[in-house]
Structure 1
């Protein structure tokens, strides 16, 4: 069985040294490659192999799915979203009022 010169030979699990795994993890965490790009670039066969390495050897917390702090959960109904936004608006109005009061006090005391 022959392979063409531009194809990499299939690798087995035994071929991956710790240094190799750490190198792949580092490149993915730096953002040089996505985990799928790393898989293709290094000829890694398993679909989730790089993800397993990221969870095991990476510096990031992969134990729970990422939820952006500014993006509410998708389970929020429109009514809940309106209530949440109204609360946030009221909080910001209060914060603005407090800060404006502090500015007024500073103007009166220090000119």
Structure 2
């Protein structure tokens, strides 16, 4: 006897954000495939889960081909080109962050210099390695 699964027609608002994120995490960890997730959670269309993966997942799904199809050399090249573009974007972003960090260091240094002059106090410690070793000797003699 064949078991029939009766699907209840659902709308997008039936799925809570926590359920969507849980399904995405299970798929990204390799615990489920998109097809098995549709069966397990009673989701009608695999495309619904794929859209969640694109929205909430950590993986870059652009320019990807289904895993069950062998990739042609052209597809592999396109995939690698997309990966290069992504890495270039990341590099640019990190370079911008480094530039901002460098500017902050210069600004903070200027602020410390100004505060030292304005209030006539030493904020930075100007101890050399010899001073710190001699201070240890003085402390041990006491």
1:48 CA displacement: 0.3
Return 5+ residue gaps in structure 1 as ranges. Answer: 1-5, 76-111
1:47 CA displacement: 3.0
Shift in alpha-carbon separation, 1:26–1:72, aligned structure 2, 3 A: same
Shift in alpha-carbon separation, 1:72–1:45, aligned structure 2, 3 A: closer
Structure 1 partner of 2:105: none
The total of aligned residue pairs comes to: 68
TM-score in terms of structure 1 length: 0.51
Structure 2 partner of 1:39: 38
TM-score in terms of structure 2 length: 0.41
1:7 CA displacement: 5.1
Query: Is the contact between residue 11 and residue 43 of structure 1 (CA under 8 Å) also seen in structure 2?
Result: no
Partner SS for 1:40: helix
Shift in alpha-carbon separation, 1:72–1:14, aligned structure 2, 3 A: closer
Query: Is the contact between residue 7 and residue 44 of structure 2 (CA under 8 Å) also seen in structure 1?
Result: no
**Matching of residue 17 in structure 1 with residue 16 in structure 2:** yes
CA RMSD of aligned residues (A): 2.8
Structure with the larger helix share: 2
Query: Is the contact between residue 34 and residue 46 of structure 2 (CA under 8 Å) also seen in structure 1?
Result: no
Query: Is the contact between residue 10 and residue 43 of structure 1 (CA under 8 Å) also seen in structure 2?
Result: no
Shift in alpha-carbon separation, 1:44–1:72, aligned structure 2, 3 A: closer
Rg larger in structure: 2
